[in-house]
Chains A and B, each alone.
Chain A
Amino acid sequence: MHGRPRQPPQAEDAASASKASNLRELQSKLLHNHHQRIYSQEAIDASSKLLDINPEILTAWNYRKLAFQHNLQEASDPPHFKSLVNDELRVVEMALRRNPKSYGAWYHRKWVLSQGLLEVDFDREFYLLDQLLKVDARNFHGWSYRRFVAKMKDVSEVEELKFTMDMIDSNFSNYSAWHNRSALLSHLLSKKAHGFDEREKILAEEYDLVRQALFTDPSDQSGWFYHLWLLDQTVTPDEVLLISSWPFDGSNWCITVDEDKVHCKVSQLPCSSYYFLNSGKLPIVLYFNQPVKGVHSSSVIVNSVFVKNEDLIWRPVTPTKSEQAACWVVYIGIPDFQKIDTKVYAVEINIGHSKDIISSNGSVFSHPLQFRFNLSFNSISLEHAEVESIDELFVWNDSGSSVAEHCGFFPFNRVNASEDHTLKSSKWNLETISYEIDLFKELEENCKFVKLTLARLFLAQDAMMSYKTCSLIHSRDVLRLFDDLIRLDPMHAGYYEDERSIVVVNQVTSDEQSLMSQNSHSSNYFSSKLPLNGCIQLTNLSLTRIGSVDRLLWVQVLDLSHNKLHSLAGIEALQLLTCLNLRNNQINSLTALEPLKLLSFLRVLDLSFNKIGAHPVDTTRYLCHSPLSHSIFGAKKCIEDYLEANINVTDHWEAILLFRELRLKQLEVKGNVVADENFRDLFAKVASHADLA
Chain B
Amino acid sequence: MGDLEVHKHVQYIISVEKKKESFEALVMEHLRMNGAYWGLTTLDLLQNITAVDQEEVISWVMSCWDQDSGGFTGTVGHDPHVHYTLSAVQILALFDRLDILDKDKVSSYIARLQNEDGSFSGDIWGEIDTRFSYCAICCLSILHCLDKINVEKAVNYIVSCKNLDGGFGCTAGGESHAGQIFCCVGALSIAGALHHVDRDLLGWWLCERQCKDGGLNGRPEKLADVCYSWWVLSSLVMIDRVHWIDKTKLAMYILSCQDRENGGISDRPDNAVDVFHTYFGVAGLSLMEYPGLKSIDPAFALPVDVVNRIFFKKP
Contacts and interface: CB of A to CB of B under 8 A. Distances in A.
**Is B one of A's binding partners?**
yes
Contacts of A631: 192
Given A222-B220, A495-B203, A628-B307, A65 B125 contact: yes
A31 B208 CA distance: 45
Nearest to A144: B174
B249 A491 contact: yes
Nearest to A20: B23
A239 to B, nearest CB: 20
B100 interface: no
Contacts of A35: 77
Contact of A490 (B175, B241, B246, B295): B246
Contacts of A623: 194, 239-240
Contacts of A592: 240
A4 interface: yes
A306 B261 CA distance: 79
Contacts of B268: 3
Interface in B54-75: 73-74
Nearest to A151: B173
A661 interface: no
Interface stretch (A174-182, A374-382, A509-517): A174-182
A180 B192 contact: no
Given A3-B271, A16-B23, A176-B175, A221 B221 contact: yes
Nearest to A31: B77
Contacts of A138: 219, 221-222
A265 interface: no
Contacts of B214: 491
B47 to A, nearest CB: 13
Contact of B176 (A19, A179, A626, A649): A179
Contacts of B148: none
B267 A57 contact: no
B8 to A, nearest CB: 13
Contact of A625 (B192, B219, B261): B192
Interface in B262-297: 262, 266-268, 270-274, 276-277, 286-289, 295, 297
Chain A interface extent, by class: 35 or more
A321 interface: yes
A5 B210 contact: no
A566 interface: yes
A54 B78 CA distance: 15
A552 B141 CA distance: 40
Contacts of A225: 165, 205, 220
Contacts of A2: 225, 267, 271
B177 interface: yes
A109 B307 CA distance: 39
Interface stretch (B27-35, B85-93, B112-120): B27-35
A623 to B, nearest CB: 6
A192 to B, nearest CB: 18
A3 B267 contact: yes
Contacts of A31: 77-78
B301 interface: no
Given A186-B164, A490-B246, A495 B26 contact: no
A641 to B, nearest CB: 12
A619 interface: yes
B127 interface: yes
B18 interface: no
Instruction: Report which residue of A53, A62, A182, A222 has the largest number of chain B beta carbons within 10 angstroms of its beta carbon.
Output: A62
Instruction: Report which residue of A1, A9, A107, A176 has the largest number of chain B beta carbons within 10 angstroms of its beta carbon.
Output: A1
Contacts of B127: 103, 107, 111
A221 B208 contact: yes
B308 interface: yes
A175 B312 contact: no
A439 interface: no
Nearest to B210: A491
A501 B177 CA distance: 29
Contact of B78 (A59, A65, A493, A495): A59
Given A16-B23, A111-B125, A622-B299, A491 B245 contact: yes
Interface string B230-248: 0000000111111111100
Contacts of B73: 59
A141 to B, nearest CB: 9
B27 A7 contact: no
B196 to A, nearest CB: 8
Contact of A58 (B81, B165, B312): B81
Chain B interface extent, by class: 35 or more
Contacts of B242: 617, 619
Given A229-B164, A321-B192, A491-B249, A567 B170 contact: no
Instruction: Report which residue of A27, A176, A318 has the largest number of chain B beta carbons within 10 angstroms of its beta carbon.
Output: A27
B125 A62 contact: yes
A333 interface: no
Given A140-B177, A143-B175, A5 B272 contact: yes
Given A2-B267, A179-B163, A183-B173, A111 B262 contact: no
A38 to B, nearest CB: 15
Nearest to B257: A6
Nearest to A589: B240
B26 A492 contact: no
Nearest to B81: A58
A218 to B, nearest CB: 14
Contact of B163 (A4, A107, A183, A616): A183
B151 interface: yes
A630 B78 CA distance: 33
A103 B131 CA distance: 12
B308 to A, nearest CB: 5
A625 B238 CA distance: 14
Interface string A482-511: 000000001111110010000000000000
B245 A566 contact: no
B23 A23 contact: yes
B150 interface: no
B175 A140 contact: yes
Interface string B3-43: 00000000000000000011100110111000000000000
B73 to A, nearest CB: 8
A621 interface: yes
B80 to A, nearest CB: 10
A643 interface: yes
A629 B189 contact: yes
A490 B210 CA distance: 12
A631 B208 CA distance: 31
A6 B257 CA distance: 10
Interface string A625-648: 111111100000001000100000
Contacts of B267: 1-3
Given A566-B243, A617-B237, A12 B22 contact: yes
A692 to B, nearest CB: 23
Interface string A278-320: 0000000000000000000000000000000000000000101
B272 A6 contact: yes
Contact of A229 (B123, B165, B262, B312): B165
Interface in B171-212: 171, 173-177, 189-195, 203-205, 207-208, 210
Contacts of B44: none
Given A59-B79, A182-B164, A622-B189, A494 B299 contact: no
29 contacts: A1-B267, A2-B267, A2-B271, A3-B271, A7-B272, A9-B262, A16-B22, A19-B23, A20-B23, A62-B125, A107-B125, A175-B175, A182-B163, A183-B173, A221-B208, A225-B220, A321-B195, A491-B214, A491-B246, A495-B241, A495-B244, A498-B243, A567-B240, A616-B289, A620-B240, A627-B311, A628-B190, A630-B190, A639-B312
Given A19-B23, A57-B78, A566-B243, 15 more contacts: A8-B261, A16-B22, A27-B26, A56-B31, A59-B78, A143-B174, A144-B174, A175-B220, A179-B175, A180-B175, A494-B243, A619-B242, A621-B299, A622-B238, A629-B190
A-B pairs with lowest CB-CB distance, top 7: A631-B192, A320-B195, A622-B189, A494-B243, A629-B192, A322-B195, A491-B246
